[in-house]
Amino acid sequence: MSAGWYPLALADGIEPGTSAGTQLFGKELVVWRDAGGAAHVWEDRCPHRGMRLSFGFVRGDRIACLYHGWQFDGAGQCRAIPAHPHLDVPETIKVATYRVAERAGVIWAADAHTEAPEPAARDALTPIRSLYVDRPVAAVRAALAGAGFPGADGAPLPFAGDAGGLLAFGAPEPVLFAALQPFAAGRTALHILAVGAPAAEDRVALAGAAEVLRRALEGASALAEAAA
């Protein structure tokens, strides 16, 4: 992973006791939240047989692999192997882990040894939705910086700059933020949040506008490729 922090999910999209798979630069990751509320980001691969841990079950402060039930604690250390209940599990059986920060309603991850500062905190944001677009992150960013983000009324919210890893939209004050996740080559995830507490119909309208944006981004690329 490149240096720095990357958004992986809307924080409220990962409930305590659940897990989800995602990707960063094509690398498969599991995002899971233990019963105590702490979020974890790991390589999405059980060290036993390679099963995705995102298919597993969260039990208390551990996640258990779906395949043979190997249990891993919050540090990624294997703590129990059901087939060998009396085995003193060696410290070497461990999942690769990443640093995690929850800021501005987003779960961010960084390489375990990163020295990059954590993303900035930002209060009073309402999560709208995550959106997956079949376009490279640079193209999505360029399009958003050029045309803005569609607002609840359909009119574009102008791009207002980069704010601590989030793209801001709206004038004179930002009313919408988007975090761009480099999912894989040619695929980007957008995690969208609104400032304040918009009414339910506005949240639905923003979510719908995001769909329009996705179609525009993917359609524009298809037209450009057809013309090339």
Partner 1 sequence: MPRASYVFLGRFEPASFAEFVRHRAARLAIAAEIGALGAERIEVAVAGAEELIEMFEMACSLGPIDCVVLDVLRRPN
By rule CB under 8 A, what string of x and - marks binding of each residue 36-75 to partner 1? Answer: -----------xx---------------------------
Return the half-sphere exposure (C-beta side, CA atoms, 13 A cut-off) of residue 31: 25
Q: Which residues, listed in sequence order, are joined to residue 182 by a DSSP beta bridge?
A: 188
Contact yes or no for 126/106 (Cβ under 8 A): no
How many beta carbons lie within 10 A of that of residue 27, not counting itself? 13
- Residue 84 in the binding site for partner 1 (CB under 8 A): yes
Shortest gap between Cβ of 42 and partner 1 (angstroms)?
16
Q: Which residues contact 228 (CB under 8 A, 6 or more apart)?
A: none
Position 91 contacts partner 1 (CB under 8 A) = yes
- 184 is an interface residue for partner 1 by CB under 8 A: no
Binding part of the chain for partner 1, among 11-19, 51-59, 90-98, 197-205 by CB under 8 A, reads 90-98
Question: How many binding residues for partner 1 (CB under 8 A)?
Answer: 10
Q: Is position 148 an interface residue for partner 1 (rule: CB under 8 A)? A: no
Between CA 159 and CA 166, with CA 160 as vertex, the angle to 5 degrees is 90
Is residue 76 part of the contact set for partner 1 (CB under 8 A)? no
93 contacts partner 1 (rule: CB under 8 A): yes
- Does 92 interact with partner 1 (rule: CB under 8 A)? yes
Beta-sheet strand order (sheet of 176-184): 125-133, 187-195, 176-184, 166-169, 159-163
Contact 91, 57 (CB under 8 A): no
90 belongs to the binding site for partner 1 (CB under 8 A): yes
Q: Which residues bind partner 1 (CB under 8 A)?
A: 47-48, 81, 84, 87-88, 90-93
